[in-house]
Each structure stands twice: as structure tokens, then as C-alpha cells.
Structure 1
Amino acid sequence: MELSGDGPGFVDRLRAWWEGEEQDPVWQNGQPVEVFTPKNRPPEVSEHDEAARAAGYLPMPAPEFPSVADLDDRWPEWRLDMAERLWGDGLLTPGGLSYATDFVKAMMPASEKSFLDLGAGIGGAVRGINKEFGVWMTGMEPSEALAEIGKETSIKQGLGRRAPVSWYDPDRIRLEARKYNGVYAFETFYKFADKGAVFDACHLTLRHGGHLMFTDFVLAHPGDPGETVRKWMSADRVVNPLWTAKQVHAALAERDFDVRVAEDMTDQYRSMVLTGWLRLLDSLTPGKVDRSFAMNMIRECEYWMARVSALDSGALRVYRYHAMKPSAEVM
């Protein structure tokens, strides 16, 4: 069985893996390996069963997150745990911390500078970039539940001042004038109703010569994107209209941003998604995956494969933008 990412087939392989159906061998590092399924799975065992522990049959450990009473129903604890397994500690989007740190290098991070993340999630990138470059970080997140987790985690790690995370309402965004050297976000703005207002706020809060960098989902062409993209939008709860890549570029230019990069990075994004999933599957040990974890993994895979299918349709793209605020006001 070759775990390629060809849309629904990837999910079908996961289902077959769980149901114990006969499959072609899985290859890792050039060698066939045993695939654990319910047919060779031991009975459910207690985490206190020492004999089962010795045999390696314990279930997956429970995720450890701060208790949040109003946890965002899009991000139950099992899904946060799955995201960290896929993308890395504190990360909810593909690419890993190395991708995030490489991404912001174009903004020339340094200890005397300050950056703002407008899609901070639970703060993994905010904390990681601070640790890597010493830059003063601020994370803002439109989900109250995720922002609270990010805030608590930063405080717990002693980064409450250098990498704080807080909530904001994108429909009423207010940012302090000329505060940051750089603003960035990963796949965040596409869900917002008034994207122009967010770009206005970014322009206001940037210092002269400051950078705005972000990746986002855009339509390849105006009009109906087709059933595959509509299905993904439903699964991702996208209720506001998506913009085309040209609309984003025009909106930035209208706000006096100098757009340096507007690049289609769909292939790279797709590769990062599939790499995360293959790495997760490689990390699973036969005999140590319980039913609830396997079912949640399939649910999450279905969500991501809906996104990959939308990208593969050609109607949905991922773009990277790098724009700069002029170094001085034009008189």
C-alpha cells in the first residue's frame, strides 16, 4: 500500500487499515512493515494493566490542554491533539515550526523588532519565532477558546510578555498605529467578512517600511468555484465569499501597499499537508492505537482530504503575499 495523497483514496486506505481488510504491504524506509488492524488488535486494556503495558498494548495517551469551558466546537481536545501530531507543538496549520521561521525571515527578524501574528491559534509559531530570533511577538487569534489556550501556554512557558496571545474580533479589529515592524498570518483572512478592514488595520499598525506577509486560500477565477470547493467550504464553515488572487492584490495596492510577492504556492501547501499525514502514520506503533484515536484520525483525514480535493480541482488555490508599507508618507 503506497500512502499517496490522491484525495478520497487516502481516506479509503485509512478506513481499510482500521477495518482490517487485506491490503498491499506498507513500505517504510525500503522495508515492508506490519500494519496494525482490529484483526490483530488485543482486547481493550486498562492503562493500569502492567501485563498489557509490558506487551506494548496500552492506548494512546490523552491530550494535555488547559481546561477551557467554552472550547471552540471546531477544536475539541482530540482535534487539537491531532493537529499537534500532524504539524508540531502548538501548531494548527501545515508546515511545522521550521516553515514558520523560514517564512518570517523576509521580514528580517531581530531582537529590537516586534511582529504581530493575526492567526496565532494556540501560539506555537509565536513562541517558536520568539525563541528562534528574539523578536518581540504578539499573537492575536479570532477564536476565543484557542486564544485562551495560547495565552495560558505562553504564560506557563515564561513568555507572557515576549510572546503573548489574545483574542480579537475580525469584524471590529482595532490595532495601535505604527506599533509593529511586521504582521503575518497563515490561512486566516479567507474566512473574514470584511477583508479590506483587516488590511486597513494592518497598514495602520505597521511602521513605515514594515512588512505584511500572509498565505491564504483564494479562488482561481471569479464565479462559482464548483461542487468540490463548495463541499470544502461547508466542511470548513466558510460562509463569507472567497476572493480571487487578483482581488487580494488589488485590495493591498489600493491601501498603498507595495506588493512584492503574489505567488501561487498550492503545490508546496499540498505537499506539506501530505507530509504531515505520512509522518503521523509512520509514528503509529502496531498494537498501540485505540479505536477512538483511529476514528478521530479518519475524521480529521476526511476534513483535510476535502481541502486537498478542492485544491486539486484547480478552482481553489493557496497564495503567498508579501507587501510593504512605504518607508515614508507620500506628501
Structure 2
Amino acid sequence: MSEAPATGKPWKKRLLAWWEGYDLPEDKAHAAPEPAAAAPAAPAAPRPAMPGVNSRFGKPLWSATRIGVVEKIWGDGFTSPGGDDYIPELVKPLGLNPAMSVLDLAAGLGGAARKMAAQYGCWVTGLEPSPVLAKEGMERSVKAGMAKQATVTHYDPENFRHPKRFDCIFSKESFFCIKDRESLNDGIEMSLKPRGQLLFTDYVFEKDEPRSPAVKEWLAKEPLEPFPLTVAKTVNSLQQRNLDIRITEDVTDAHRVLILAAIQSLTEFLEKHSMDHETKLAVVEEVELWARRVAALQGGLRMYRFFALKLADGSEG
């Protein structure tokens, strides 16, 4: 289960072959009839980066090119592992229905918000730290006819407060990049109705920070500086805010399988399609990002799912 199904050469070698331009003859044969429209209209001219937040290394985090690449990897509307088929399994503990309101604190391009709204009839308010992704996500919700039921707007997670209260708060792999987690958890507690539910996945350490080279490289090279907590600190912080922890589940293996399978599928796609140099660079950077995360997950980093209920009156009830 730890490796994605492989066909032929390992995906890393196949990706390198694609990048260097010495694909196998059959791959080129597949690429030959590919219409010119598969590449951008003006492949020689780089597209301008969309305005947005920079990484800690001074480079724009998101561009039209990168958005196109991540949607090819993870599916329309998604920027991380787990698409339309995965969301219902992930949010199952919430028991969503049309009477419920959901606050998504890592909305991205709005894929999870629209899936929850469409499948369960609930009303989802999506908040996204990247203004670029928030704008693109809202445009996708409008096009899907879900402008009111699955909104996506920008927010600052380091200063999170919301005037409304929700039945559920949801987040998918985003809290580890937030420095002031105590303030965030204050905002989460205040934004939950009594008996409200909190469900999120996040990168964590099981105990002390692992000393493996892979984890050190991940900490040094993530585009946004990571501040992962231990499982115990995560749980303790929530418990201090009247939240009853019901699920603390290590989902690392499943997360790794999703990543490896997606990269395998991408590699197979790339061998049959041509693209401009800018897109090639974006593909390689994205694959390197996820390869570092996979290595860190093998070196001591973990992915956990947390589920908690806000107690109605300070007691178990």
C-alpha cells in the first residue's frame, strides 16, 4: 500500500526522461497527433504571474500556470490530494445535511466546498489564505451555479475571527502553516455553535520533531514556513477550548498512496502530451514539492485526521 502501482520505468526516471526530451518512441508517437491547442496559445511568451502572496523565498505562490498543473494532478477545483471521490469519506463523521452550515478554512479553488454543498445540500462558506486561489475558487463556484451555496473568499488565518457561527468547521492540510495556532483555535471555538463539529487533517509530529534529513529538508524548503505541532499539543490546545476530541487518526499511509498514485498518473499523461517551457517548470516544481513531502512522511512527519465536538455547556452532556 505504500507505493502507487507502477508500470514500466519508475515514475522518477520517466519524469526525468520527459523533462530531458528522450521519451520512448511510442510516447512520441502518441504525442504527434496531439492538437496544438494542448499548449498555450503563445507558448514562446511566458504568461504573467497573477497577483498574490509570495512564498517565503520571494516567489509568487500561485499563477495561472501552477493552478492548471495542480488541477491536472488532483482534479478540477483541488490543489492537494483527495478529490471528489475522497471528500465524502473524509467528512463522513460530520453527518452533513441541508440544514447545516459549514465553514471551510482551507477552501483553495473551492472543490471540497462545492462537493459538500452538491452532495449534502449544506451551505458552505469557504475561506482561503491565498487571494489568487480565493478569486479563482469563487469564479468556479459562480460558473457551477453555486455562488451562494459554496462561496470562496480570502482571509488571514493568523487573524481569524468570523461574525457568524457554524454547525461545522472543516480544513484540509492548512493549519501547519499557521504560526499563531492558539489565536486560530480561539477563533474556531468562537465560530462554532454549541454542539458544533470540527474536522480537519494536518501535518503533525507524533512526539518530538524528527531529526531525519528528509524532515529537515521539508522544513527548509516548504513554500510557506511550516509550524507543525505534535499530536499531543494539537489535542491539548483544542481541549482547552471546550472541544471534546472524538477522533485522532493517523492517515499517513492513505495520504502517501494518494500522492504517489497522482504523480504516477501525471507521469503517464506527460509522456503523451507536449507543453511549453513555463508549464514544464511548473510541473517539475510541483512534483518536487510533493516528492519532498512524501520523503518527509517516510522520515517521521505524519498526516492526522482530527474530529471534535464543541461541548454545549462545559460538560460531556
Separation (CA, whole Å) in 1 of partners of 2:91 and 2:40: 33
- Structure 2 residues not aligned, in runs of 5+: 42-47, 54-59
Aligned to 2:36, the other structure's residue is in SS state: coil
Question: Where do 5+ consecutive residues of structure 1 fail to align?
Answer: 24-32, 43-54
| Cα distance, 1:142 vs structure 2 | 1.0
CA distance in 2, matches of 1:245, 1:36: 48
User: CA–CA distance in 2 between the matches of 1:108 and 1:218?
Assistant: 26
Shift of 1:150: 1.6
Q: Is the CA contact 1:71–1:145 (under 8 Å) kept in the aligned structure 2?
A: yes
Q: Percent identity?
A: 31
**1:34 aligns with one of 16, 26, 33:** 26
SS of residue in 2 equivalent to 1:215: strand
In structure 2, the partner of 1:323 is: 308
CA–CA separation in structure 1 for the residues paired with 2:17 and 2:161: 49
Ranked by relative contact order (alpha carbons within 8 Å, sequence separation 6 or more), the top structure is: 2
Matched, 1:149 2:149: no
Classify 1:56/1:13 alpha carbon distance in 2 versus 1 (closer, same or farther; 3 Å): closer
Cα separation, 2, equivalents of 1:98 and 1:276: 14
Q: Deviations over 1:147-204 (max 9, x none)?
A: 1222222223332211111111112111235x21110100010010111221221111
Does structure 1 residue 104 correspond to structure 2 residue 82?
Answer: no
How many Å separate the matches in 2 of 1:144 and 1:68? 13
Contact kept, 8 Å, 2:5 with 2:261, in 1: the verdict is: no
> What is the deviation of 1:278?
2.1
- Output the amino acid matched with 2:12: V
Q: Which of 268, 272, 288 does residue 302 from structure 1 map onto? A: 288
Q: In 2 relative to 1, CA 195–225 (structure 1 residues): closer, same or farther, beyond 3 Å?
A: farther
Alignment of 1:1-331 (within 5 A): 10-21=11-22, 34-36=26-28, 55-56=33-34, 58=36, 60-62=38-40, 69-72=50-53, 73-176=60-163, 179-223=165-209, 225-284=211-270, 286=272, 288-292=273-277, 293-313=279-299, 315-330=300-315
SS in 1 for 2:248: strand
* 3-state SS of 2:142 partner: helix
SS of the aligned residue for 1:309 comes to helix
Cα distance, 1:144–1:307 mapped onto 2, change above 3 Å: same
Bigger-Rg structure (1/2): 1
Q: Shift in Å at residue 206 of structure 1?
A: 1.1
User: Using the alignment, how far apart are the partners of 2:275 and 2:176 within structure 1?
Assistant: 36
| Displacement of 1:209 | 1.4
| 1:209 aligned counterpart, secondary structure | strand
Structure 2 distance, partners of 1:3, 1:172, is 39
SS where residue 115 of structure 1 aligns? strand
Q: Which amino acid aligns with 2:38?
A: M
Q: How many pairs were matched up? A: 298
SS at match of 1:324: strand
Provide the C-alpha distance between the structure 2 equivalents of 1:324 and 1:229, rounded to a whole number of angstroms. 32
Instruction: Please say if residues 111 and 133 of structure 1, whose CA atoms lie closer than 8 Å, have aligned partners that are also in contact.
Output: yes
- Calculate the TM-score normalised by the size of structure 2: 0.84
Question: Could you tell me how far 1:3 is from its partner in structure 2?
Answer: 7.5
Distance in 1, Cα, partners of 2:5 & 2:213: 23
Contact 1:225 1:316 in 2 (8 A): no
Q: Runs in 1 of length 4+ with deviation above 4 angstroms?
A: 2-5, 20-23
Instruction: Report if aligned partners of 1:176, 1:204 keep a CA contact under 8 Å in 2.
Output: no
**2:56 maps to what in 1?**
none
Counterpart AA for 1:34: E
Query: Contact (CA 8 Å) 1:120, 1:126: kept in 2 or not?
Result: yes
- Aligned partners of 2:126 and 2:150 also within 8 Å: yes
- Are 2:163 and 2:191, in contact at CA under 8 Å, matched by a contact in 1? yes
Distance 1:102 1:62, change over 3 A: farther
The 1:112/1:309 distance shift into structure 2, 3 A limit, reads same
Letter in 2 for 1:70: P
